[in-house]
Amino acid sequence: MAYIIGIILVIIALIIIGLIMRKRIYDHVDRYEAWKMDIMGRNVAAHLSKIKSLNLSGETQEKFEAWKERWEFIITKELPDIEEHLFDAEESADRYRFSKAKKILHNVEEILQSIEKEIEKLLAEVDELLQSEESSRQEVEEILPHIKACRKKLSQNRYQYGKAEAYFDKEIDVLEKKLNNYYSLVEQGNYLEAKQIVDEIKLSLDQLEQQLEVFPRIYKLCKYELPSQLDNLYSGIKGMKEDGYRVEHLAFEKEIRTYQEQLLLMVKKLEAGDLQNTESLIEDVEVRIKEMYQLLEKEALAKNYLDTQIPSYEESLGDINNAFLDTKLEVEKLKHAYYFEDHDMERYLMLENTIAKLKTELEELLLELENEDTSHSKLREQVEQGFEQLKELNEKHDAFRKRVHNLRKDELEAKEKLIEIRNKLADTQRKLKKSNVPGVPQFIWDMIRKASDKNTRVMKVLEKQPLEMSNVQEALAEANDAVEHVIEQTNVMLDQAYLTEQVIQYANRYRSQYPLLAAKLAEAERLFRTYDYELALEHAAKAIEEIEPGALKKIEEFQQTAN
């Protein structure tokens, strides 16, 4: 029983699946039927009828017949065949031949897509032809006034074009001939070919208008203006040579002749209607003429500069030479009294060599001026460099003279400084003698003796011939340091002695009460009498601090107030 029910269910399922698949086939058939009807309803014939407004002959007639024939074939043959295919698909679906039905529908879809592409191509070709005709007609309407304007411009300004008038006349004739060819092609119905002719006319017309616009200026420059400028430049160079200006080395005459020949060739090319490379040649010539004038002007200015500045240069060089001779005499005298450092002598010799070099260069420059072998501009550079060297030389000479004068100044200042140091040492010695201390420690006297010896050394160095100031300064610095050290140690020693006296006097009030304090004070007094003030202060201060802490600070403050 279950087996039978299973078979029944399978049969029912197969029937349902078959119905669903048949429904899908019917849906596809309906969609392709609608697509076919849509194609049949398109107004392609009306679109094709627009071609009738053109000249139906030649290429246009052939294309129109081909498009019409193709559309009629689609309507009368291909679309009815599709109807039969759709009927076969439905019949196959009714018989549950779904595979065959799908294959038929797939073939129908390919046919419909092919028809769509053909219709699209057909309509595009129709539109292209119509647009070509319309755009060509409009462009020709715009071209005609331009051609007439070119003819008028050439006729009214013939003198500006010279022999090239014939070339431009011929070019306009060619355009007009092409225009007539366009009209002929239109009458024959060959609109696409006519469109190509219009495009060629436009391109040629643009080039011609541009040539007509720029030609007069270029022709005038090449035939009249630039040759005239070159002639004037050539005459100017000849005149400058006669006036003594050195321009031979520039070799402009040969270059000018080359440019004149190039311009003559360019004029011939222009008269033949060839404008290629004219702008570059004109630019080259204009730039070079400007450069030539600048170089000639530079040479003229250089000559005038030399005429006015060489006497001044000779005078300036003579002045620095005379000034250096005075310095040289002074140095020779000072060499006996002073020692010159190596770097000072190097500066001195450098000044001498530089002056000699400039004098030699001036003699050579004067010879070149007479021989006329060198351009004035180059000689000017040499003179300008010479002026710069003279300026630097004057600065270095002034600095050296100050250095020489400073030798004597340094000697006087050293002697004054020595006197000052000696006075400080003498003042210190007097201060020691006037002090009320029992005596002066031996180390103080030793330092005074050493300081005195260093002062004596300074005197000996100052007396040496030639005087070497570096040694003087070194000895002077040592003497000054020694005296300052004496002053410092003397002041420290006296302060310790005075403070020791004050501490002992202050501590005496406790002497009777504290036997230990009395003993320490006695030791401090003994050290004091033997001039050991530092150790005496240390014993006394330690003794009083043990009895009265802070007493030493109180005594120091009192002593500072009293001083």
Q: Quickly state the pLDDT bin for 467 (edges 50, 70, 90).
A: low
Closest CA to 365 of 394, 392, 391, 389: 389
Question: Per-residue pLDDT averaged across 269-289, rounded?
Answer: 81
User: C-alpha distances in angstroms, 447 versus 428, 450, 452, 478, 479?
Assistant: 12, 5, 8, 13, 11
State residue 439's pLDDT score.
84
State residue 4's pLDDT score.
67
Closest CA to 42 of 66, 70, 81, 75: 75
State residue 544's pLDDT score.
81
State residue 176's pLDDT score.
82
Tokens standing for 408?
């004597």
- Residue 189's region, left for phi above 0, alpha for psi from -120 to 50, else beta, is left
Amino acid at 527: L
Share of the chain above pLDDT 90, in %: 0
402 exposed, middle or buried (CB, 10 Å; 0-12, 13-18, 19+)?
A: exposed
Q: 399: which residues sit within 8 A by CB, 6+ positions away?
A: 347
Q: Which of 58-72, 311-325, 500-514 has the lowest mean pLDDT?
A: 58-72
Q: Is the pLDDT of residue 527 over 70?
A: yes
User: C-alpha distances in angstroms, 292 versus 287, 374, 450?
Assistant: 9, 18, 83
State residue 11's pLDDT score.
59
Q: Is the pLDDT of residue 295 over 60?
A: yes
* pTM for this model (two decimals): 0.48
Closest CA to 209 of 239, 171, 266: 171
What is the spatial distance between Cα 37 and Cα 33, in angstroms, rounded to a whole number? Answer: 6
State residue 41's pLDDT score.
59
- Listed by start position, the domains of the chain span 2-136, 297-413, 435-562
Name the range with the highest mean pLDDT among 191-195, 311-315, 336-340: 311-315
Q: Quickly state the pLDDT bin for 280 (edges 50, 70, 90).
A: confident
Q: Is the pLDDT of residue 539 over 80?
A: yes
Question: Per-residue pLDDT averaged across 439-451, rounded?
Answer: 86
* Averaged pLDDT score across all residues of the chain: 76
Question: Per-residue pLDDT averaged across 23-27, rounded?
Answer: 63
Q: Which of 270-279, 346-355, 391-400, 405-414 has the lowest mean pLDDT?
A: 405-414
State residue 369's pLDDT score.
73
Tens of pLDDT, residues 314-367: 888 788 788 777 777 776 666 655 556 666 677 777 878 888 888 888 777 777
Q: What is the 3-state secondary structure (H, E, C) of 476-503?
A: HHHHHHHHHHHHHHHHHHHHHHHHHHHH
Q: Is the pLDDT of residue 426 over 70?
A: yes
CB-CB contact of 160 with 220 (8 Å)? yes
Tens of pLDDT, residues 69-127: 676 666 766 667 666 666 666 666 556 665 666 677 677 777 777 777 777 776 676 66
What is the spatial distance between Cα 119 and Cα 72, in angstroms, rounded to a whole number? Answer: 11
What is the chain's alpha carbon radius of gyration, rounded to the nearest angstrom? 62
Give, in degrees to the nearest 5, the angle at Cα 328 between 324 and 333: 150
Question: Per-residue pLDDT averaged across 8-36, rounded?
Answer: 61
